[in-house]
Amino acid sequence: MKYYSNEIVFRGHPDKVCDQISDAILDECLRQDVNSRCGIEVMGGKGKIFVTGEVTTKSIIDLESIIKRVLKDVGYDTDYEIVNNLGIQSADIALGTNDSVHGAGDNGMMFGYACKDTKELLPLAMVILQKLSMAYDELRKKDSRFLADGKAQITGIYDEDNKLIKIKTFTICYQNTENDRASTDKIIEDIARNICNEYGIEVLEFLINPTGKFKIGGFLGDAGLTGRKIVVDSYQSFANVGGGAFSGKDLTKVDRSGAYKAREIAKKIVSSNEDYTWCEVQLSYAIGKSRPLAIYIKTNLGDVNASDELYDECDVKNMLIELRNKNICFEEKARFGHFKD
């Protein structure tokens, strides 16, 4: 028996709001110009939202309207000073990513993971937190006592096969009006407990707003920054994490496309053999080079050799074609988890 913890932040957490703004801008760039090259970073706090990074696009972007729409959607006020500090992509980087080369937009290694704990092929504790995050977002839309910001953490009890047996402590921090806390605490606890009951998981202890109060939140309570929740965005500590964040980056950035592809490969492999219980995939790339430098695959039964066909599949040009055909809404990915399905 052992203890292990994982966490999630809610859609209205300052860092996650910045992720959503970055990806909303990216989505609009790509909607108008599929060849847009974007690396968009957002910082928010204390009445200001600062947008910087690199964008090369034919798109015409109304930055202020996109940002205010996202703020409204997540439950924030929209009265913020917006600072636009975006520039164009470096010409040196463009040499390696243009259509004649189709190279990776940066060096990097990225990971994909899948396991048979759940139908989503994700760890059970991770799925529980994702469902809680989505349920909380619906709750705060219906009940004005619940405000946008929040996060949750599970400290689980696991057996020798790394299966979740019980939850030792379920910690939930949620921003609220502090009106009728006994009632709102019970509502959020009941939601979390019901999700756990779906999987037959007992919760031994709840810690809800353990400081005693959580009224000041969002950009008033903390600064936000794109890409700061990289562990939450990937596998919540159940697998290795790559070197780069996802949000604000178009698919030529292998931090994003490579991570999405690695997840897909891990799902296929773990589903291909009933004896596999988990699979982790690492991809690595060099800037300006299309073919991956290496593909490393490990499972509970040992390592798996990557075929030449898999290397071809993970060629940046081929990944771009495949992923673009999926018409991914990146803002949606940023809300509740890039790998929730």
Q: Is 249 a catalytic residue?
A: yes
Q: Which of 33, 54, 185, 313 is catalytic?
A: 54
Q: What letter represents residue 147's amino acid?
A: L
Q: Is 214 a catalytic residue?
A: yes
Q: Are residues 266 and 288 in the same domain?
A: yes
Separation CA 113–CA 262 (nearest Å): 7
List the beta bridge partners of residue 184: none
Q: Is 255 a catalytic residue?
A: yes
CA neighbor of 266 nearest in space, from 109, 92, 113, 70: 113
Last residue in a domain, options 177, 203, 218:
218
Q: Are residues 264 and 205 in the same domain?
A: no
Per the domain annotation, does 171 fall within a domain?
A: yes
Per the domain annotation, does 279 fall within a domain?
A: yes
Per the domain annotation, does 137 fall within a domain?
A: yes
Q: Is 229 a catalytic residue?
A: yes
| Number of compact structural domains in the chain | 2
Q: Are residues 256 and 323 in the same domain?
A: yes
Q: Is 13 a catalytic residue?
A: yes
Q: Which of 255, 264, 280, 331 is catalytic?
A: 255
Q: Which domain holds residue 177?
A: 2-9+125-218
Q: Are residues 214 and 260 in the same domain?
A: no
**Sheet of 81-87, strand order:** 81-87, 48-56, 37-45, 224-225
Q: Which of 33, 116, 166, 223 is catalytic?
A: 223
Separation CA 129–CA 134 (nearest Å): 9
Query: What tens digit of pLDDT does each residue of 33-48 get?
Result: 999 999 999 999 999 9
Q: Is 68 a catalytic residue?
A: no
Give this prediction's pTM. Answer: 0.96
DSSP tag of 316: H
Q: Is 228 a catalytic residue?
A: yes
Q: Is 111 a catalytic residue?
A: no
Per the domain annotation, does 113 fall within a domain?
A: yes
Q: Which pLDDT score, from 0 to 100, does residue 233 have?
A: 95
Q: Is 336 a catalytic residue?
A: no
Q: Which of 37, 102, 249, 263 is catalytic?
A: 249
Per the domain annotation, does 135 fall within a domain?
A: yes
Q: Is 102 a catalytic residue?
A: no
pLDDT tens across the length of the chain (341 residues): 899 999 999 999 999 999 999 999 999 999 999 999 999 999 999 999 999 999 999 999 999 999 999 999 999 999 999 999 999 988 877 776 777 667 888 899 999 999 999 999 999 999 999 999 999 999 999 999 999 999 999 999 999 999 999 999 999 999 999 999 999 999 999 999 999 999 999 999 999 999 999 999 999 999 999 999 999 999 999 999 998 999 999 999 999 999 999 999 999 999 999 999 999 999 999 999 999 999 999 999 999 999 999 999 999 999 999 999 999 999 999 999 999 87
Q: Which of 228, 261, 333, 335 is catalytic?
A: 228
